[in-house]
Amino acid sequence: MDKTEYDISKIAKVLEGIKSRLDRNSGVKAELIYKAKDLDRVLFAGNTDDNTSISSIEGDKQIYETFLYYLENEGLVKIMADKSGISFHLTPKGHTFKTYGGFTALEKEEEKRQKKEKIKQRLWEFSGWIFAAIAGFAEKIFNFIRELL
């Protein structure tokens, strides 16, 4: 396994951890449905060098503020508030997460995993049908041979 494959598998594990935390939200957050594209809109607006004002992101500022607090709780952004409003910048973890595709990549990976699981399930079902057909045919042959003897 070369270093790139190791890095990708390590990042995939981190993404799975974030996904599991998304699924385990409590309180008010549990009632909100955070869509990957919406979280990414906020995440991708930021960078590690400069602060990004929440007002510079097109859309509902109150919802984006909620997303920012969630992203900060995950360690992906650092929030600053002053007289001009709320701004943020990406943490190194946030920059890495953004570089590897953010929540949308995580969502696509989960869809891929579910698709593989579905294919695996269908293959098992199909192999069961084949086994049942062969077993029935083998039983008839066995009974025919036994009657001959």
Output the pLDDT for position 16: 72
Q: Is 50 exceeded by the pLDDT of residue 129?
A: yes
Helix, strand or coil for residue 111?
Answer: helix
Which pair of structure tokens corresponds to residue 27?
């309180």
Residue range of the domain that includes 124: 103-148
pLDDT of 23 over the 70 cut: no
Give the span between the Cα atoms of 51 and 146, in whole angstroms. 84
| Pick from 108, 100, 34: nearest CA to 68 | 34
- Domain containing residue 12: CATH number: 1.10.10.10
**Type of residue at 121:** Q
Q: For the chain, what percent of residues have pLDDT higher than 70?
A: 85
User: Which pLDDT tens digit goes with each residue over 72-91?
Assistant: 988 999 999 888 788 999 99
Shared-domain flag, residues 25 and 65? yes
Domain shared by 59 and 90, yes or no: yes
Counting the structural domains of the chain, the total is 2
Q: Is the pLDDT of residue 54 over 50?
A: yes
